[in-house]
Amino acid sequence: MNTLAVGGLGGQWFLAVLMIVLVSWFVFRYLIPQSWKEWRAAGILQAFIIALYAEMYGFPLTIYVLTAYFGVDIPWLHLRGHLWSSLLGLGDIGAMAEMVLGYAIIFAGIGLLAAGWRQVYKAQKQDKLVTDGLYRYVRHPQYTGIFIAVLGQLVHWPTLLTLILAPLIVLMYWRLAVKEEREMLKKFGAEYAAYTAKTPPFIPKGNAWRSLMRATKETEEEQDGAARPVQDGRGDL
């Protein structure tokens, strides 16, 4: 079977490596692990990224296992890598819908990760507890962003390895959040205790998801505004 045909599945290892490098660079630009626990959690996330793109463009292990050992009829075409559509028999339209939905979730998660990093970085420079903006709705918006992006990838391009790694990512970042909160409680005391009492760690209360996404957009707009050169009233600088 020629997997290198137009629209074929697998064999594009250069593209796989390129995507792994680009996505890893973007993610770790905002995570910046320092402690051993941070590096361990980041390592699981890195394994997820490698497993995802190695199958998406390199060798489709999941489809191989399903077709060779379970008798599932899945053509080795790239579009059939959108497994939910293939397994449910939704055809090309279902595959496209799965891709669009997956990417929408992924970009929402990435936006939240980046905006959360910007806000906490600014607060760290001022050495203060941040409880507004994104942090008004969840205590760890960066980790919520990671979880959302991982969910989006599982919608967009699920594989056996990423399905195994996804709950490990949640577990590792939950444990990291617990460690960070102990340190914050020592530093800020009753102020942080009051904050944790009213703010959930990862999942916003009730209908606050929309407010969280709005706060993400506002944080990005503030960053864009700060990055623009200020005119002096006489035109361009």
**What average pLDDT does this structure show over 58-79?**
89
Question: In angstroms, how far is CA 211 from the centroid of its own chain?
Answer: 19
- Reduced to 3 states (helix: H, G, I; strand: E, B; else coil), residue 48 is helix
Task: Kindly tell me if the per-residue pLDDT of 231 is higher than 50.
Answer: no
For 71-106, give one letter per residue: b (16+ CB within 10 A) or e: eeebebbbbbbbbbbbeeeeeeeebeebbeebeebb
**What is the DSSP code string of 175-217?**
HHHHHHHHHHHHHHTHHHHHHHHHS-SSS-STTHHHHHHHHHH
Which tokens sit at 48? 């997820």
Separation of alpha carbons 145 and 220, rounded Å:
14
**What average pLDDT does this structure show over 227-233?**
43
pLDDT for position 9: 65
More confident of the two residues 29 and 185: 185
Interval 107-144: pLDDT, tens: 999 999 999 888 888 877 778 898 999 999 999 999 99
Task: Kindly tell me if the per-residue pLDDT of 46 is higher than 50.
Answer: yes
Maximum separation of any 2 CA atoms in the chain, in Å: 72
- Reduced to 3 states (helix: H, G, I; strand: E, B; else coil), residue 3 is coil
pLDDT for position 5: 40
Which tokens sit at 112? 């939240």
Separation of alpha carbons 117 and 31, rounded Å:
8
pLDDT band, residue 187 (cuts 50/70/90) = very high
Query: Which domains does the chain possess?
Result: 13-225 (1.20.120)
Task: Kindly tell me if the per-residue pLDDT of 228 is higher than 60.
Answer: no
pLDDT for position 139: 95
pLDDT for position 22: 95
pLDDT for position 8: 62
Please answer whether residues 134 and 119 qualify as being in contact, where contact means their C-beta atoms are separated by less than 8 angstroms.
yes
**What average pLDDT does this structure show over 174-196?**
95
